[in-house]
Structure 1
């Protein structure tokens, strides 16, 4: 890799990273004001949609939590009855009421344990199913999104959505949400019992509830904004970490370690600051709610004691009342703790739902056309393309007969890669039509289009697994014999024969066990096995040394035989196998002809070829 190329890639990487961070900032800005309602509604719709397939299990869980709540709130009533009736009856020699109370209390305690056990199992199973569906849906949807989405939404953000954001939701669903639901039911039930037991004392409790509601509303608004900042901050941390690890060779080659440490430290400090502020907010809320609760309890104790002394209230009722107050404010404390998880999960769910609402820029056809066997004839009729009102490819026409090999030549930014992306339908043209054997590419379903048109990138990306696994990507149902035949066709079999495990050899992460030329041959074998009608190559030999280039060049000749091919060529040695050369400049085709014809002329390609030939001397 040349220094110039590395500098360009590094610049593009940092540009993408900056755009990514700007995008996160815009997301955070979008959730203020009116956006709060929009995103909150979007998040709720997503959660309800995830739970909908498990309605019966959700109903069962709700019934179990109601039963569990009923057993718990009934316990102080047994204590009140024992104090006011059981003890006095026992003094008179009648132990039946006290014994019945004790037996009833034990039965309710056992039922409480049983319902709690059943509820936790049911809710745990439900939450795991919901989280599983969300992971699968998020991953599948992200894979379906167009290349344009992934070019602006970097891998670090995608990783954050699928890991830390889902983990935040997992924390809520696995425990916090259950606690919150149980707490709300307990508060409502106990409030009704308090009013029934003594309206005067209930009025004191409800009066203390007013400032508690106000404090809760204040904390909710504060925490929601705080946790949105934490989700954005952790996303930036993950982006920096993923990009540093992915580009480790460039990091070490250009001594970027210290600078990366500095950038990650800054972003991590922002995350720490945002998280600390959010946790402090929870502490403020818990402290205020506890103060209000204890103050109310003391007031109830004083007024209740006065009523007992006046003979207006039984001692057992006061005891039950104080026990209920503990159960009443206990769930409120739990809600304060749940509040922390809820705000974090709500912010995470907003981010996830935002990704799930993204639509592919390249849509599947509503009325697809079937193309069983393609010969490979390509036509671009009045095709134009641009980004945001900026023209990249002015309107042009191009016809490529079936079986013709066309080389695209031109300076960086001439439009070669854009033309290749249009032909492979990673983008749709902003004007005109691209056809394969007379069928508009937009009328072919994606699976059929990828069967007929395949792109080989410069990187020749290999996945973790064996050589056979990576070749079989071209046709997953291929037999071992067919895999070996494809490898042999491109000259890979001699190398594989030297490996101890042959085709079962693990290529390691991103094909790290293989050289660049060997990875390219695996990619060629993969395409040979797929047997497409049209092949698009994005400079397949630019990163290879001379021996590697010659090896790949021979394989390329085999691969392209009797197929339509479009080759983006930076090395003019690649052009030798082309039937036709297109020279691009500023998105326009300025020269079109056979290689020998253009070399013999006085045009741009002749000048490029002469300069390349001189460089070899």
Structure 2
């Protein structure tokens, strides 16, 4: 619990906590940025050197103009000596060429640098998200994950493509310009130094005011993406329950919030940017007026006055760019905080450093004093002791929320128990390498997800490198071969996105074939026949009886017809096993399963 959630805390304590949290977020973001820049540090240093050379050559221009007017031109007029003027003009042209060339090199180098960093970040986000445990994916909405990978990284791209390099170049240009003006004529630099005082306070006001508003804009942007993604993902439910109008209203409210946040940001720039321009105009006027008096009195050369005016004007140009940079920087800082926060998420199910080898798995499963809850307040399995011999098919039966799917998730090691152990062949699942665990245990759920590609591709996922004969044999075993052959291109038919070309039952049959070709030691079917019609279910049951003969199987089903192929039935209630026996024994008894079976049989009459 955060300090803000504790009763009795003072406003000062809450403020201190907020500052500490903000500092932690900045440190986390900075750490991520450093790790991204470290592999490309050589190119980064090279890019910075190029910027320094380009900026120095650019700043030399007004000084050369002053020399040309005051020295070169006077030599031409007084002595008809063109050599100094020619040398100064040549130097001016040379600096322009050097500046332009270095700028071109800098733009290419910075583009390569930013793309390299972004590719690294995209791969990190994808790999890290994919490797996180199921608890993360069940709590972190898909819309938020997509927002991290799309809009947030796109915001960082805008910063890296021009923001950081423009910042460095702007600071260099201001520093070199101020230094050149002081070296050329210190008196002309005095108005500029005075102008820095109001410019500093204006910039500080802008910085402090905009932080909150930029973060709000990013938050509302993410909410828009989340709502859009979830609406499109659940479009069938939207259509079925006629939520279009309600979704439109809620989305319109989110759009208004986002628009209002952006309006506040634009209003800030509407004050800051003109304010800088006003300060720049007054400074330039002061330099010009004071310089004109000095030229009239003979205390200053005309060329020096021209250079001082050019330097003063050039000094404020980067400040306007820095204002635009600050816009990108605040957006990117908020985005970087969100991305670094997701990358900071830790997997709750981790692979052991020194895994125990699983050479020839038999399939014996044991739950020893297992206690588990998805959080500390809700305990699903208070204490479970269970022994499943190798090769036995058990059916889990019980009301919704009894703990059946939780038990299956522990066997598949989507979660680890809070207490106790779940073991396969007397090896704690936490001691097994992921590759051994996933090869030995396969889970098929009611959500039969298919990837874009052909039927063969989707079945072959269960066994990379499987031959076409193996794929077809697996499909025949579960009763999928006949309907596959009726498809336009048979096994080469594209199933479309998420298997949209197939019915729910057909998708489930393909998921069965994919699991069976994997030939696991332990097969878990979590409501896996729920999408099948009765003829398809009977066909699959015949395949199951053949394919489950030599492996351990856990079948979770509300359809009691599926239970008939089990060797043993476990009836669960509130996370505990209240009945345990063969289907025949429990049906003949007077317990929970007998009443469930009787009600199911009456429903068929």
Going from structure 1 to structure 2, the CA distance change for 1:432 and 1:531 (only over 3 Å counts) comes to same
Q: CA deviation at 1:503?
A: 1.6
Q: Of the candidates 40, 53, 72, which is equivalent to residue 39 of structure 2? A: 53
Q: CA deviation at 1:104?
A: 1.5
Q: CA deviation at 1:505?
A: 0.9
> Which aligned pairs between 1:145-544 and structure 2 lie closer than 5 A?
145-386=132-373, 387-544=375-532
The question of 1:78 aligning with 2:55 is answered no
Aligned residue number for residue 561 of structure 1: 549
Q: CA deviation at 1:542?
A: 1.6
Q: CA deviation at 1:283?
A: 2.5
Question: Secondary structure at the residue paired with 2:380?
Answer: strand
Q: CA deviation at 1:32?
A: 4.8
What per-residue deviation string (whole Å, max 9, x for no partner) do you get for residues 382-403 of structure 1? 0011212432111120000111
What are structure 2's unaligned runs of at least 5 residues? 1-14
Going from structure 1 to structure 2, the CA distance change for 1:31 and 1:149 (only over 3 Å counts) comes to farther
| Alpha-carbon distance in 2 for matches of 1:166, 1:325 | 37
| Alpha-carbon distance in 2 for matches of 1:286, 1:312 | 35
The question of 1:33 aligning with 2:19 is answered yes
Q: CA deviation at 1:30?
A: 12
Answer yes or no: is the 8 Å Cα contact 1:524–1:555 preserved in 2.
no
Q: Which moved more, 1:156-165 or 1:52-61?
A: 52-61
Answer yes or no: is the 8 Å Cα contact 1:464–1:509 preserved in 2.
yes
Q: Of the candidates 97, 105, 125, which is equivalent to residue 110 of structure 1? A: 97
The question of 1:90 aligning with 2:76 is answered yes
What are structure 1's unaligned runs of at least 5 residues? 1-28
Structure 1 ranges of 4+ moved more than 4 A: 29-32
Answer yes or no: is the 8 Å Cα contact 1:176–1:342 preserved in 2.
yes
Question: Secondary structure at the residue paired with 1:584?
Answer: strand
Q: CA deviation at 1:446?
A: 1.9
Answer yes or no: is the 8 Å Cα contact 1:369–1:443 preserved in 2.
yes
What per-residue deviation string (whole Å, max 9, x for no partner) do you get for residues 525-547 of structure 1? 11112111111111111233222
Answer yes or no: is the 8 Å Cα contact 1:524–1:559 preserved in 2.
no
Q: CA deviation at 1:143?
A: 0.6
Question: Secondary structure at the residue paired with 2:453?
Answer: coil
Answer yes or no: is the 8 Å Cα contact 2:508–2:532 preserved in 1.
no
> Which aligned pairs between 1:592-607 and structure 2 lie closer than 5 A?
592-607=580-595
| Alpha-carbon distance in 1 for matches of 2:590, 2:411 | 30
| Alpha-carbon distance in 2 for matches of 1:310, 1:553 | 107
Question: Secondary structure at the residue paired with 2:529?
Answer: coil
Answer yes or no: is the 8 Å Cα contact 1:465–1:508 preserved in 2.
yes
| Alpha-carbon distance in 1 for matches of 2:250, 2:523 | 41
Going from structure 1 to structure 2, the CA distance change for 1:340 and 1:325 (only over 3 Å counts) comes to same
Aligned length: 589
Answer yes or no: is the 8 Å Cα contact 1:521–1:555 preserved in 2.
no
Q: TM-score, normalised by structure 1?
A: 0.93
Q: Which moved more, 1:307-316 or 1:373-382?
A: 307-316
What per-residue deviation string (whole Å, max 9, x for no partner) do you get for residues 319-376 of structure 1? 1111111221111111111111111111101100000000001112122111122111
| Alpha-carbon distance in 2 for matches of 1:239, 1:393 | 33
Answer yes or no: is the 8 Å Cα contact 2:479–2:536 preserved in 1.
no
| Alpha-carbon distance in 1 for matches of 2:16, 2:551 | 49
What per-residue deviation string (whole Å, max 9, x for no partner) do you get for residues 171-198 of structure 1? 1111222211110111111121122122
The question of 1:580 aligning with 2:562 is answered no
Going from structure 1 to structure 2, the CA distance change for 1:427 and 1:311 (only over 3 Å counts) comes to same
Q: CA deviation at 1:78?
A: 1.1
Q: TM-score, normalised by structure 2?
A: 0.95
| Alpha-carbon distance in 1 for matches of 2:565, 2:507 | 21
Aligned residue number for residue 5 of structure 2: none
What per-residue deviation string (whole Å, max 9, x for no partner) do you get for residues 247-295 of structure 1? 1111111111101111111112111111221222222221212122222
What per-residue deviation string (whole Å, max 9, x for no partner) do you get for residues 376-426 of structure 1? 100000001121243211112000011111111111111111111111111
What per-residue deviation string (whole Å, max 9, x for no partner) do you get for residues 68-109 of structure 1? 111111111110111101111111211111111212111211
Aligned residue number for residue 612 of structure 1: 600
Aligned residue number for residue 29 of structure 2: 43
